Amino acid sequence: MTTGTYNNTHEAARDARPPRPHEDFAFTAANVEEAARIIACYPAGREHSAIMPLLWLAQYQMADATGQAWLPIPVIEYVARQVTMPFIRAYEVASFYTMFNLEPVGQHHVMVCGTTPCWLNGSDEVFRACRDHGLRKGEITNGGAFTLTEVECLGACVNAPMAQVNDDYYEDLDYARTRALLAALERGERPTVGPQDGRQFSAPAGGATTLLEGAQV
């Protein structure tokens, strides 16, 4: 009798839990194969090292399945099980890196760098352009089109200020270029990635200053 009461109470408590979206998440057949390939890249016993690429794979699958690239708790739990890692350690990884989203994001995740080189070169204007376009930090705005996040250095300081949109870098931004970029994305276009001021990669912004003879031949 005691066991039955316990079970009834336990089941009632379980049924009263808030629903957990994506509790039944599992890799697709293609991603099962890809996960196995990734895990096999690491020595036996070092499967934990695959946690980042597997979380990344799961986030891509979420984007494909729901249109929102993020990692709900059950998805992180699933990925942790794939590499026999305690959930909390997988969560620590997912919550440390801004490349992993713990909340749903808009179709275009706009990550603006606010670290010192970008800040000194005008990231405030990039944020102002985002604000004027309706974007708000940490919110899904513009009918699901955007989420704005401020991030730390993304390693493109020589082209500061810059922003990453999903997997693409847009560099040498200013107010007008940022507004144009957001408008193009909203129209469904994919603007040319990289520098937005016409320079090639990270070539000097004002043109070549050395090896001029060779350049003039």
Contacts with ligand FES, residue ranges (CB under 6 A): 113, 115, 117-118, 153-157, 160, 162
Smallest CA-to-CA distance from 151 within 103, 114, 108, 196 is with 114
Q: Shortest distance, CB of residue 155 to ligand FES, whole angstroms?
A: 6
CA distance 160 to 153: 10
Q: Shortest distance, CB of residue 179 to ligand FES, whole angstroms?
A: 20
Give per-residue burial for 165-188: e unless 16+ CB within 10 Å, then b. Answer: beeebbbbbebebbbebbeebbee
CA distance 29 to 84: 20
**Helical (H) or strand (E) element with 128:** helix 123-132
The first and second tokens of residue 178, run together, are 């940022």
Report strand pairing: 146-151 vs 108-113.
Answer: parallel
Q: Shortest distance, CB of residue 40 to ligand FES, whole angstroms?
A: 34
Q: Shortest distance, CB of residue 151 to ligand FES, whole angstroms?
A: 8
Question: Closer to ligand FES at the Cβ: 62 or 154?
Answer: 154
